[in-house]
Amino acid sequence: MHELGVVFKVIDDIKEVAAENDITKVESVTLQLGKVSAVIPNLLEDCWKWAVDREELMKGCELVIEPIEAITFCEDCKQEYDTIQHGKICPNCGSEHTYLLQGNEFMIKEISV
C-alpha cells in the first residue's frame, strides 16, 4: 500500500508551505486525483485519517478528492476517448498509436487554513 507514503509526502509538502506562510492550522486539503493514477481513493482516505491526527498542524484536517477523468488521444484519427472504458486501443479506428492526455495526475489543488 503506497498510499501511506503518498500521504506522508503530501503532509510534508503542506508543512513546508505552512512554515513559509506562518500557518498554524490546516482545516482541509483538496487533491486532484487522476482515475488512472495508481492511487486508490478509499485507501488514501484511510491513510489520511490515520496520519493527519499525528500532526498538530493538521489534526482533524479534512481531505477532499477531486477525480480527474482519464482521457486518451489517438494519433491516427485525432480523436479523444475514455481511457478506462477503452484502454490503449482507439475505439474509433482501432489504432494503438495513442497516448494519455489526462488521468494520471496527483496534485495538491488547495489548502484551506
**113 residues of the chain, pLDDT tens digit each:** 589 999 999 999 999 999 999 999 999 999 999 999 989 999 999 999 999 999 999 999 999 999 999 999 999 999 999 999 999 999 999 999 999 999 999 999 999 99
C-alpha closest to that of 11 among 38, 42, 47, 65: 47
C-alpha cell recorded at residue 30: 483538496
Q: Is residue 74 a part of any domain in this protein?
A: no
> Which pLDDT score is estimated for 106?
95
The residue range of the domain holding 43 is 3-69+103-112
Q: Is residue 81 a part of any domain in this protein?
A: no
- The pTM score is 0.86
Q: Is 1 exposed, middle or buried (0-12, 13-18, 19+ CB in 10 A)?
A: exposed
Q: Is residue 42 a part of any domain in this protein?
A: yes
CATH number for the domain spanning 31: value is 3.30.2320.50
> Which pLDDT score is estimated for 2?
85
Residue 19 belongs to what H/E stretch?
Answer: helix 3-20
Q: How many domains does the chain have?
A: 1
C-alpha cell recorded at residue 113: 487554513
> Do the Cβ atoms of 44 and 2 come closer than 8 Å?
no
